[in-house]
Structure 1
Amino acid sequence: MRQGSGSPVLRQAAIRASCLAYQIWLARNARLFGERRMSLRFVVESACARAAELCHTSPVGGTLTARDIWGSHPASAVFCMVFFTWEPPSPSFLKVNFDGSVLDGGLRGGAGFVIRNPSARVVAAGGSQLFDTSVPCAELSAAWAGVRYARCVLRARSIILEGDSATVISWIQGGPRGGGCDHPLLRDIWAMARDGWAFQATHIYREGNGAADWVAAFVACHSGDTLWLGDGELPLALRVHMTHFEQHQMEESFPKEGKKKRKEKKREKIVHERCKTSKRHGFISKIDS
């Protein structure tokens, strides 16, 4: 790997070979320890997806080490400053976040999406369970389902598609003439993108794609299609997850404002409890300032 660091072609070949060896090792361990066997297709496609993400984020001129291959994806991208926060779309746009989930070595999985408006309110969220799939296929199915619902059902003309799969995003950004993957779902996405006024596909790190990740994991364990319309229909666990994530984002970006808001809520709760106690005893006590 060190010898191939200088040449982009040798570098990519070294990454692909290392990722394939790693996936084979994982499949071998799963077989030895009595877990579900992974199909050859699943092993190869997982290795290709992992290699594509590493090639996409790894610096061309840097030294390639084993840590770049075996380490986590965010660790391999630590050379640059990145932001993990989810941001609302621009006015007149809808943002479609998508994610795929694969379980049992590809025997089943899920494709989930979350569509939100410029006010960060959920317009629709859902997905479907998949069978005999791989990570890239699950991610692509999720992207297609989200774009299709936004374009064909919600009649959105301006869409921002956002996902944590660098592979799928690069396929979509490349377009029909990009020379990349040629898949029926990709062709359908490109056709829907041409029909609208504006379409943009962007990559976001997994830390900022938590809502879509939750939906993908949910639909992977539930048969059939799933659809929630608006914030009111979302499962309580998903609402709690999104609220906690947004609060964490606010505190990370504005730590003083987040701390101040928590103090204000705590004081309001104390005031409310004192008022209830006072009314119960037939008098209103003066609340200390």
Structure 2
Amino acid sequence: MTPSSAWSAPPPAFFKANWDGAIDKDNSKVGIGVIVRDSEGLVMASLCSSITLNFDPSLGEAVAALKATILCAELGLTHIVLEGDALSVVQAVQNEEENWSAFGMVVRDVKSMLSKVWVWSIHHTPRELNVIAHILTKYALTCSEDCCILLEDYPPYIQHLL
């Protein structure tokens, strides 16, 4: 099974944002990758971003989820499905408990952004089904730019996965 055939489309009129975060411990960087597709699998946007952040994989993944949520909001999407391979982030967003750690505060920001969306859901997906977002994160760690957003487009190095 290839990653593109394993990707499941969101319901009609919904958009799916797959997100991932990757850590570069040596350089204290987090790479973030997001790809947003419609129910037909057409790419609405892609994002590669890197930020300086002390080594904390959960926090890096939470920041990636926040970037995905912000991107969807900036695109004006009102019906979204968020999908990432960080189970702790997915569970934290689904959970109503407050957490005052740095991780919890980022999750709170995700929830705040989602409160402005009409209909949303967040799901865990295995890494092998989140390949495109993962490749975008790895690429983000090598970029000199802080952030690159492509609208209705994607970098050529993921073409074969779509």
Band of TM-score, shorter chain: 0.7 to 0.9
What is the aligned partner in structure 1 of residue 82 from structure 2?
Answer: 161
Q: Give the residue type in structure 1 aligned to 2:157.
A: A
Equivalent residue for 2:29, pick from 96, 102, 108: 108
CA-based RMSD of the aligned residues comes to 1.8
What is the aligned partner in structure 1 of residue 155 from structure 2?
Answer: 235
Give structure 1 stretches of 5+ with no counterpart. 1-83, 244-289
Report the 3-state secondary structure (helix = DSSP H, G, I; strand = E; otherwise coil) of the residue aligned with 2:115: helix
CA contact (8 A) 2:20 2:134 kept: yes
C-alpha deviation, 1:164, in angstroms: 0.4
Structure of higher RCO (CA pairs closer than 8 Å, 6+ residues apart): 2
In structure 2, relative to structure 1, the CA distance for the partners of 1:163 and 1:181 (3 Å cut) is: farther
What is the aligned partner in structure 2 of residue 286 from structure 1?
Answer: none
Q: Give the residue type in structure 1 aligned to 2:159.
A: R
What is the aligned partner in structure 2 of residue 187 from structure 1?
Answer: 108
What is the aligned partner in structure 2 of residue 142 from structure 1?
Answer: 64
More helix, by proportion: 1
Report the 3-state secondary structure (helix = DSSP H, G, I; strand = E; otherwise coil) of the residue aligned with 1:195: coil
Rounded to whole Å, the distance in 1 between the matches of 2:26 and 2:57 is 10
What is the aligned partner in structure 1 of residue 127 from structure 2?
Answer: 206
The two structures have a TM-score, normalised by structure 1, of: 0.50
Give structure 2 stretches of 5+ with no counterpart. none
Residue by residue, what CA displacement relative to the aligned partner does 1:1-22 show, whole Å, maximum 9, x if unpaired? xxxxxxxxxxxxxxxxxxxxxx
Are 1:178 and 2:100 matched, yes or no? no
CA contact (8 A) 1:106 1:133 kept: no
Residue by residue, what CA displacement relative to the aligned partner does 1:88-107 show, whole Å, maximum 9, x if unpaired? 11111110110001123562
What is the aligned partner in structure 2 of residue 91 from structure 1?
Answer: 12
What is the aligned partner in structure 2 of residue 37 from structure 1?
Answer: none
Runs of 4+ aligned residues of structure 1 deviating over 4 Å after TM superposition are 179-182
Report the 3-state secondary structure (helix = DSSP H, G, I; strand = E; otherwise coil) of the residue aligned with 2:120: strand
More strand, by proportion: 2
The two structures have a TM-score, normalised by structure 2, of: 0.87
C-alpha deviation, 1:195, in angstroms: 1.5
Report the 3-state secondary structure (helix = DSSP H, G, I; strand = E; otherwise coil) of the residue aligned with 1:226: strand
Aligned length: 154
Q: Give the residue type in structure 2 aligned to 1:239.
A: Q
Residue by residue, what CA displacement relative to the aligned partner does 1:111-170 show, whole Å, maximum 9, x if unpaired? 11111111101110113112234211211111101111111x111111101000001111
